[in-house]
C-alpha cells in the first residue's frame, strides 16, 4: 500500500530540502506539504497521512503543539520534529509525545534513522 | 538620493529567514547551556528599512534603557550584529551565566566583561552557522558593549550610510524562569546586501539542483 508523508514547514525552501531528502531515501513515498499547523490539520482531515515531519519554529502553533495534536489522533503514526533548536526541553517534550527529533540543516544521514524506523513500523501496521 | 533596488524575491526572503532561524536556534542552544534554563524564541522578522525605522522598531517595544553587545562582521558579506536587552536585565543575566553566589557588587564589577563574552558566544553561534550553510567564512570584530535607547544603538555615524536602506533582521528571546528577554538583531547595508543576495541565490540553486547535501559538513545539529 502506498505511503504518504506530510512535510510541515513555514519555509518553502526548507520544504524543498525536506522533500528532496525524503525522496532520496524513499522515492516511492508520496509527499504532501503544509506551511503551518492549521494547514497541516486540514490535510490530515482530508486524506490519509502515514508519516509526519514537522518544523518546530513556525508562526501560529509551533511544531511540538502540532505533533501533540497529531499524536492524540494517531497514536501509532511515526512523527519527527525537525529543528536546529536542540535544547533539552524541546527534545524531552518531543520524546514525551513519542516524536523523533531530527536536526536542521536536514541531511540524508540525519533523517535516515527515522525514515527506516517509520518504514518498518508501517510495514507491520499498514497491511 | 540614489535608491538601489535591493528587494528580495519571495524565495530569497524565505531562504534568508530560514538561515537566520537555524542560526538563532543554534545560538539559543548556546544560551540555554549558559543560563541553565529554557530559552524561547520568536519567529524571525526580516525587513528592508532605513536606519531610523530600525531604531524605532526596537524603540516602540522598549522604552527603558537598553544594553547591547555589538560585533561587526565582514568577509563574504558584512554587517553588524547585536544582542540587545533591557539594562534592567543585565545583572540578572550575568548572575544566570556566572552563578547565584555573586554579590550584586561582584556582578556589577564584571558586568561589561561578562556581557561581552556572553554576546560573543551567542552572536558567533548565529553568524557562524549562517556562514557555514552558505559555505563562506566571516570574520567578527571584538565585542563592544553599548548602552542607550534604540536610536543610540542603531545610530549610523557615517552620513552616507545613514541615508541608505538596511536589511534589518531581528528575533526576540525570552528566558521565562529568569524573567529575561532580549533581541538578536542584524543590520546590513546595500553593498553587502547585494553580496548576500548572490550567496542566497547560490544557496537556493544548490538546494534546487544538487544532491541534498546541504550543510553536510556542519552536522553538529
pLDDT (tens digit, 0 to 9) for every residue of chain B, 221 residues total? Answer: 344 456 789 999 999 999 999 999 999 999 999 999 999 999 888 888 887 787 788 777 777 889 999 999 999 889 999 999 999 888 888 888 888 888 888 888 888 988 999 999 999 999 999 999 999 999 999 999 999 987 788 776 666 666 677 888 889 999 988 889 999 999 888 788 888 999 999 999 988 876 544 444 444 43
- Domain range spanning residue B51? 10-209
- Specify if B201 maps to a domain: yes
Q: Three-class SS of residue A107?
A: coil
**Prediction pTM value:** 0.85
- Specify if B100 maps to a domain: yes
Task: Judge: B221–A11 Cβ closer than 8 Å, yes or no.
Answer: no
- Specify if B3 maps to a domain: no
> Which domains occur in chain A, in start order?
4-125 (3.40.50.2300)
For chain B, how big is the Rg over CA atoms in Å?
18
Task: Measure the N-to-C terminal CA separation of chain B; round to a whole number of Å.
Answer: 44
How far is the CA of B41 from the CAs of A2, A53, B87, B212, in angstroms? 38, 20, 20, 27
- Specify if B220 maps to a domain: no
Is the bond preceding A105 in cis, omega lying within 30 degrees of 0? yes
- Specify if B4 maps to a domain: no
- Specify if B183 maps to a domain: yes
Question: Which letter does DSSP use for residue B161 in this model?
Answer: H
Cβ atoms of residues A122 and A49 within 8 Å:
no
From A72's Cα to the closest Cα of chain B, the distance in A is: 25
Cβ-Cβ contacts under 8 Å, B39 against chain A: 87
Counted domains in chain B: 1
Q: Three-class SS of residue A77?
A: coil
The whole-chain average pLDDT of chain A stands at 95
Cell of B210: 544538487
In terms of Cα–Cα distance, which of A55, A54, A105, A62 is closest to A79? Answer: A54
Cβ atoms of residues A102 and A114 within 8 Å:
yes
Task: Judge: B25–A103 Cβ closer than 8 Å, yes or no.
Answer: no
Cβ atoms of residues B117 and B124 within 8 Å:
no
CA within 13 Å, CB half, A65: 10
Domain at B55, CATH number: 3.40.1550.10
Geometric angle at alpha carbon A66, from A97 and B19, rounded to 5°: 105
Task: Judge: B215–A105 Cβ closer than 8 Å, yes or no.
Answer: yes
- Specify if B214 maps to a domain: no
Task: Judge: A13–B15 Cβ closer than 8 Å, yes or no.
Answer: yes
Q: What is the ipTM of this complex?
A: 0.85
Q: Tell me which residues of chain A have a C-beta less than 8 Å from any C-beta of chain B.
A: 10-14, 16-17, 20-21, 24, 57-59, 83-89, 103-110
- Specify if B104 maps to a domain: yes
- What are the beta bridge partners of residue A92? none
- What are the beta bridge partners of residue B72? B80
Amino acid at each position: 500500500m502506498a505511503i504518504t508523508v506530510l512535510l510541515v514547514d513555514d519555509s518553502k525552501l526548507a520544504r524543498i530540502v525536506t522533500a528532496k531528502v525524503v525522496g532520496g531515501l524513499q522515492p516511492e513515498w508520496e509527499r504532501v506539504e503544509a506551511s503551518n499547523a492549521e494547514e497541516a490539520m486540514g490535510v490530515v482531515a482530508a486524506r490519509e497521512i502515514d508519516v509526519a515531519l514537522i518544523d518546530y519554529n513556525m508562526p501560529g502553533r509551533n511544531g511540538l503543539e502540532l505533533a501533540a495534536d497529531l499524536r492524540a489522533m494517531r497514536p501509532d503514526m511515526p512523527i519527527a520534529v525537525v529543528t536546529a533548536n536542540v535544547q533539552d526541553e524541546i527534545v524531552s517534550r518531543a520524546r514525551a509525545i513519542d516524536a523523533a527529533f531530527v536536526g536542521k540543516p536536514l541531511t540524508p544521514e540525519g533523517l535516515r534513522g527515522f525514515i527506516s524506523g517509520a518504514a518498518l513500523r508501517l510495514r507491520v501496521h499498514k497491511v | 538620493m540614489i535608491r538601489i533596488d535591493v528587494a528580495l524575491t519571495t524565495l530569497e526572503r524565505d531562504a534568508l529567514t530560514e538561515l537566520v532561524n537555524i542560526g538563532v536556534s543554534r545560538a539559543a542552544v548556546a544560551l540555554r547551556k549558559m543560563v541553565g534554563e529554557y530559552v524561547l524564541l520568536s519567529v524571525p522578522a526580516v525587513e528592508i528599512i532605513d536606519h531610523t525605522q530600525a531604531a524605532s522598531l526596537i524603540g516602540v517595544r522598549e522604552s527603558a534603557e537598553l544594553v547591547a553587545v555589538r560585533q561587526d562582521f565582514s568577509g563574504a558579506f558584512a554587517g553588524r550584529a547585536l544582542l540587545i536587552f533591557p539594562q534592567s536585565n543585565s545583572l540578572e543575566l550575568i548572575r544566570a551565566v556566572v552563578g547565584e553566589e555573586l554579590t550584586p557588587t561582584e556582578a556589577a564589577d564584571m558586568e561589561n566583561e561578562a556581557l561581552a563574552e556572553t554576546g560573543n558566544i551567542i552572536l558567533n553561534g548565529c553568524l557562524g552557522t549562517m556562514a557555514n550553510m552558505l559555505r563562506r567564512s566571516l570574520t567578527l570584530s571584538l565585542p563592544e558593549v553599548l548602552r542607550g535607547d534604540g536610536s543610540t544603538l542603531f545610530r549610523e555615524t557615517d552620513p552616507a550610510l545613514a541615508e541608505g536602506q538596511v536589511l534589518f533582521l531581528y528575533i526576540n528571546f525570552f528566558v521565562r524562569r529568569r524573567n529575561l528577554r532580549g533581541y538578536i538583531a542584524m543590520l546590513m547595508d546595500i553593498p553587502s546586501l547585494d553580496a548576500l543576495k548572490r550567496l542566497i541565490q547560490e544557496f537556493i540553486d544548490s538546494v534546487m539542483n544538487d544532491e541534498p547535501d546541504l550543510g553536510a559538513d556542519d552536522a553538529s545539529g
